[in-house]
Amino acid sequence: MWSKDSDKFERPCIGLALSGGAARGIAHVGVLRVLFEHNIPIDYIAGTSAGALVGGALAAGLSLDEVEETARSLRWRDMGRTTLSRLGVQSNAR
């Protein structure tokens, strides 16, 4: 991976891509915990759906315990409930 700041790193940059899916949202926390326990740094985080929520919370500075607690307390089925809309193809209105 090339970056304008790549010459500042003395090691390869590590990017983490987190997938979507409610159950995977919790699983991502376990994977992150193992990476941190083994001192594997993460330079870039990307995610979609539940992975974006977990990655965003981590990037915002929440601890893994806070991310896990939040992920476990969410009603994931309400996060992605779609309904038909007269204004467009679909809507996320509740």
Reported as a single tens digit per residue, the pLDDT across 5-42 is 656 668 888 999 998 887 777 788 889 999 999 999 99
Predicted local confidence at residue 6, as pLDDT = 56
Higher per-residue confidence, 62 vs 73: 62
Residues ≥6 apart with Cβ < 8 Å to 27:
none
Q: Is the pTM for the entire model greater than 0.75?
A: no
- Residue 8: DSSP 8-state: G
Q: Which two tokens stand for residue 82?
A: 């779609």
Position 37 in a domain: yes
Position 94 in a domain: no
Position 87 in a domain: no
Position 46 in a domain: yes
- Residue 39: DSSP 8-state: T
Domain residues for the domain of 44 are: 17-79
Amino acid at 64: L
Q: Which residue's structure tokens are 């990307």?
A: 46
